[in-house]
Amino acid sequence: MSEQTQWQLSGSAPESYERSLVPVIFAPWAAALIERAALQPGERVLDVACGTGIVARLAALQVGSHGQVTGLDINPGMLAVARALPPGSGATIDWREGSAVALPFADATFDVVLCQQGLQFFPDRLAALREIRRVLSPGGRLTLAVWRANQHHPFFGALADALTRHVSSEAGAGGRAPFALGEVTELRTLITGAGFSDVRIRIEILPMRVASLEQYVPEQLAATPMAGAVAAAGESARAALLQDISTAVQAYGDDEGWAFPMEAHIVSARA
């Protein structure tokens, strides 16, 4: 989850996020991130910008009961949802509220730090990466994922364009915000600039499958900071928004609904 005030979820949005976005988007990508991290039993793991906790829960399974997992997020609403979910097997998860740019941990506390779709939102990305390196043990591992640029995401590109036309330019900018760190050169410069070594960046492509745009688009928007603006825009604006999206993504429909490619850079590096 993010640290910028314009990308914070409030009200019922954290529950909508867990219900609608995690199964369709964040759970499959969390599995890819965990596979890349190659966690070992007994390791100490920090999930930065943990949101409602899907990455932390998968990490807990990998490190087992002798490992340690901490999930950190700046948003108390997201953490409340994480804490309310049934505990899984493996390591017990310590849910902590805090900022990525001032991690509340001593030096060399963790063997591995994970971050799924958080770095692009941090107010000072370089400071956050330096903090992550500080709390890693010497030679410790960082594995993080950030979306590639907006043009690689046909659904979200269409969504952002429709928000601009039918809600506001601010809502459209909010729709594009998750893809703001999509260029690999900028990403690599940040990681190496923070002092990490052995930096490897891999492009991953996974499908986002939904059965019905009429059902999913409202659910998607309810789980974002743009929810209030969309609600205030009125029924006719929402209908036009849905029609524009449906027209723009016709090529991605099939007999079972819709399948949209999503692309991310998955980074692995050592402290």
Q: What per-residue confidence (pLDDT) applies to 236?
A: 93
Domain boundaries, the chain: 5-150+176-208+257-270
Q: What per-residue confidence (pLDDT) applies to 59?
A: 98
Q: What per-residue confidence (pLDDT) applies to 157?
A: 97
Q: pLDDT tens track of the chain, all 271 residues?
A: 445 434 344 456 888 899 989 999 999 999 999 999 999 999 999 999 999 999 999 999 999 999 999 999 999 999 999 999 998 889 999 999 999 999 999 999 999 999 999 999 999 999 999 999 999 999 999 999 999 999 999 999 999 999 999 999 999 999 999 999 999 999 999 999 999 999 999 999 999 999 999 999 998 898 888 888 998 998 999 999 999 999 999 999 999 999 999 999 999 999 9
Q: What per-residue confidence (pLDDT) applies to 9?
A: 42
pTM of the model: 0.93
5-150+176-208+257-270 CATH fold: Rossmann fold (3.40.50)
Q: What per-residue confidence (pLDDT) applies to 12?
A: 66
Q: What per-residue confidence (pLDDT) applies to 2?
A: 44
Q: What per-residue confidence (pLDDT) applies to 224?
A: 85
What single string gives the DSSP state of each residue in the chain?
---SGGG---TTHHHHIIIIIIIIIIHHHHHHHHHHHT--TT-EEEEET-TTSHHHHHHHHHH-TTSEEEEEES-HHHHHHHHHSPP-SSSPEEEEE--GGG-SS-TT-EEEEEEES-GGG-SSHHHHHHHHHHHEEEEEEEEEEEE--GGG-HHHHHHHHHHHHHT-HHHHHHHHGGGTT--HHHHHHHHHHTT-EEEEEEEEEEEEEES-HHHHHHHHHHTSTTHHHHHHH-HHHHHHHHHHHHHHTGGGEETTEEEEEEEEEEEEEE-
